[in-house]
Every structure is written in C-alpha cells, then in structure tokens.
Amino acid sequence: MSQLKCLNPIILNEGREKSLQRHHPWIFSKAIAKVLGDYEKGATVTVLDSQNNFLCYGLYSPESQIRVRALSFDESVKIDDNLIKSRIENAILMRKRVFDRGNDGVRLVSSEGDLLPGLIVDKYNEYLVISISSCGMERFYKTIVKTLQSNFKDCSIYERSDTKSRLKEGLQKRCGVVSGKEPEDTIYVKEENSVAIPVDIKNGHKTGAYLDQRLSRIRLGALSKGASVLNCFSYTGGFGLWALKGGASKIENVDVSDLALKAAKTGVAFNHLDPGRCKFIKKDVFEYLREQVEKGVKYDVVVLDPPKFAESAANLKKACRGYQDINRLGLMLVKKGGHLLTFSCSGLVDPALFQKIVADAALDAKVDGRVIATLRQDEDHVVSLPCPETFYLKGLDIMVM
C-alpha cells in the first residue's frame, strides 16, 4: 500500500504488527515509528506495518499512551457516522436477552466489547447515560446522541463524561442533561423482575451503578436463606438487597461513602424489606474486617467487592497485596460450610492470578477453601474475543470446609 494514497498514515516499528494481526485494538505510542503528519485529535488514521502493509483504521489520540484505537481491520470499510450508528444499533440488539430477563438497568454499549472504543452507554429506566472517554469517540458525539434518540424516543439522555482517562486524552470533563428531563437524585432500577437497586445518575460512581455485578447479586440472593451476610464495599447496597430478598437473617453493609450508605438505606425501604435486619456501617473495610476477626465473629456469607486496586502495571504488586489481605481476613470470618464471594475488577489481574492470590490468602488464614463457582461480569458487559482486558470483572465463590 502506498503511504501517500492512504488517509493519515501511521507506520509501526518492525515486529509491532503482531497484536494487530490478531485484531487487538490498542496501539501504544512505543509501537509507532512514524506519524506522517500533524493529525487532529480524534482523526481517523490508517495504521501500516513497517513494510507499508495495511493493518487497520483507527482513531488517533495524540496525548494518550494508547495512541490509536482500532475501529476496523477491513480495508474496504468506511470509517464514518454510519459505521458508528450501525455499531450502536447492533449493540442495542445484542442486549435483548438482558432486557427480557426483566432488567431495567442495562449496559447498551460497552466500549471495546462493542467495537466502539471509548463509548459507554447505560440505560436506567427511562434515562440513557452516556460516557465518552476518548477523543476519537468525541468526534462522533452528535451521531451517538442522534442514534440513541431515534432508538429510544421516550428516553432522556444524561452525560457523565467525567472519567480520569479523559484527562489523559486531553479532554475536559463534561456532565449534564443532553436532552429530555434531569434525573431525580435517586431512581430505583429493577433487576431480574425482582429487587430494585438505587441509582444516582448525577453523582453516583461511573454512570450511577455497577450493573456488571448483576449475576453475582442474584447468586448471593440464592445463597442467603437464613444467612448472616457481611457485604464489604457495599456501595448502594445492591448485594445486601438481594441477600435480604433471599431471606438473610442479618446483613451488614460496609462502605466509606456516606452518600452510598444513605442510598443503600432508601433501597431497603423502597423494596419493602425489613430494616431491622440491616446495618449500615461507615468504615474502612480493612479496619472492619480486622476488628471482626479480633472479636471472633463469623458469618455465613462474606462478600468482597472492592474498587479497582490495580490502576496500572506500576502498582500491580501493591494491589495484589491488598487483595490478599482482604481475602485472608474475609476467609477467617466465614463459618464452616459458608461462602466467600470475592471479586477483582482490575483488568491487570487475570483470573489465574486472582485465584492464586485467593489461594495464598487461604493458606495464610489456615482455611481449607474450595471453588464452588467462578463468577464474572454479566453479558451486557461484552467481552471482546481478541481483547482479554475487556474481561475485567472476575470472582470466586469459595466454600469454607
């Protein structure tokens, strides 16, 4: 392919084409030999190998470590508004199964998982929340909004483009109503035709809720009959609500966030569940776990759903120590025959490493634990086959013997 003929060519260093040949979508700055022009932020570029062979079209992020995000590996595809529109519509179609299960909170677009790097769209009842985190996607803002409006005529759209990664892309934060009405401070979103979880679209984490944990919340419900449950890193108490619905005798929600615990309390009332069976504890989880171990308290089920400890490769070791620490303490708090549901949402901690960390924690705790099930993000958080980083949320259901 002639460099001159193609649109905004970028040439890779020799040998750096391999991951692209396997259709992994990220091109890091270190892989690039030459950028043949002063391309605009978010421009469509053509990535070529060192011999000028076509590898992919992608979107250019001049200030980010991930310099290009691939959009198509097919040379005949046109990178335009129609491509983005059809990918959004395909993503929406794929979610039918999750809606049909009786969920009113569904991730409609899951970034790389839907071949739309840098775009998240979540639907909560009659609100769509968009979050754009790359300057390439930013260019398609109007198309994104128009496509969503035409597919969901009765929905309001709110924007939560306030991720840290936006700063790395040289973009400012942007939040607010895009169209329709402003969301109430807390709305309640039904899961599986059952429990409704509290969601704060304007000020909550991410776009308002952790929809990715839906499958594991259901699992906890099924394990909870008559059980005492400790829900660590509870956020707005989704796991706790499912435990109560499943017949838990007692549930303790622990989180450092006042706002999250306040919302968690309203969730109990909204679902007509018994507030007498729940405690809301504002405390650092590490500290609370240590205190309970010292007191010799035991629970039937302990849930550990921490935030992302491994933010970068540089802090991976420290993150692993953090995971091992909470898992050791968590395992010490589980009764014989009881369960630990433990998770990591760090993309850098793969399932094998996570299992090793939990195995080491069990050794330290002198606990014999068995893996009853492996847990994962629900299917609307689509995993891209060539991009394993999109399988970020993994968990284990450990039975203590």
Q: What is the 3-state secondary structure (H, E, C) of the chain?
A: CCCCCCCCEEEECCCCCHHHHCCCCEEEHHHEEEECCCCCCCCEEEEECCCCCEEEEEEECCCCCEEEEEEECCCCCCCCHHHHHHHHHHHHHHCHHHHHCCCCEEEEEEHHHHCCCCEEEEEECCEEEEEECCHHHHCCHHHHHHHHHHHCCCCEEEEEECCHHHHHCCCCCEEEEEECCCCCCCEEEECCCCCEEEECCCCCCCCCCCHHHHHHHHHHHHHCCCCEEEEECCCCCHHHHHHHHCCCCEEEEEECCHHHHHHHHHHHHHCCCCHHHEEEEECCHHHHHHHHHHHCCCEEEEEECCCCCCCCHHHHHHHHHHHHHHHHHHHHCEEEEEEEEEEECCCCCCHHHHHHHHHHHHHHHCCCEEEEEEEECCCCCCCECCEHHHCCCEEEEEEEC
Please, what is the minimum distance in Å from the beta carbon of residue 290 to ligand SAH?
A: 12
Closer of 54 and 286 to ligand SAH (Cβ): 286
Find the binder of ligand SAH among 204, 238, 322, 395 (CB under 6 A). 238
Find the binder of ligand SAH among 84, 260, 358, 361 (CB under 6 A). 260
Tokens representing 373? 């099930």
Which of the stretches 43-51, 73-81, 251-259, 392-400 binds ligand SAH when contact is defined by CB under 6 A? 251-259
- The answer to whether residues 240 and 264 touch, using CB atoms and an 8 Å cutoff, is yes
Closer of 105 and 117 to ligand SAH (Cβ): 105
Find the binder of ligand SAH among 74, 258, 274, 284 (CB under 6 A). 284
Residues from 172 through 211 that contact ligand SAH (CB under 6 A): 210
Closer of 17 and 305 to ligand SAH (Cβ): 305
Which of the stretches 87-95, 135-143, 184-192, 235-243 binds ligand SAH when contact is defined by CB under 6 A? 235-243
Please, what is the minimum distance in Å from the beta carbon of residue 233 to ligand SAH?
A: 3
Closer of 46 and 344 to ligand SAH (Cβ): 344
Distance in angstroms (rounded) separating the CA atoms of residues 60 and 365: 48
Residues from 290 through 309 that contact ligand SAH (CB under 6 A): 305, 307
Beta-sheet pairing, 299-304 with 334-344: parallel
Which of the stretches 103-111, 162-170, 230-238, 376-384 binds ligand SAH when contact is defined by CB under 6 A? 230-238
Tokens representing 11? 């040439």
Please, what is the minimum distance in Å from the beta carbon of residue 213 to ligand SAH?
A: 4
- The answer to whether residues 46 and 84 touch, using CB atoms and an 8 Å cutoff, is no
Q: How many residues bind ligand SAH (CB under 6 A)?
A: 18
Find the binder of ligand SAH among 73, 235, 280, 299 (CB under 6 A). 235
Closer of 59 and 263 to ligand SAH (Cβ): 263
Closer of 146 and 290 to ligand SAH (Cβ): 290
Which of the stretches 55-63, 160-168, 278-286, 361-369 binds ligand SAH when contact is defined by CB under 6 A? 278-286
Q: Does residue 275 bind ligand SAH (CB under 6 A)?
A: no
Please, what is the minimum distance in Å from the beta carbon of residue 328 to ligand SAH?
A: 15
Q: Does residue 256 bind ligand SAH (CB under 6 A)?
A: yes
Find the binder of ligand SAH among 110, 163, 213, 384 (CB under 6 A). 213
Please, what is the minimum distance in Å from the beta carbon of residue 275 to ligand SAH?
A: 19
Q: Does residue 318 bind ligand SAH (CB under 6 A)?
A: no
Q: Does residue 242 bind ligand SAH (CB under 6 A)?
A: no
Find the binder of ligand SAH among 158, 188, 233, 299 (CB under 6 A). 233
Question: In angstroms, what CA-CA distances link 88 with 32, 277, 352?
Answer: 30, 43, 33
Q: Tokens 């079209």, residue?
A: 57
Binding-site ranges for ligand SAH (CB under 6 A):
210, 213, 233-236, 238-239, 254-257, 260, 284-286, 305, 307
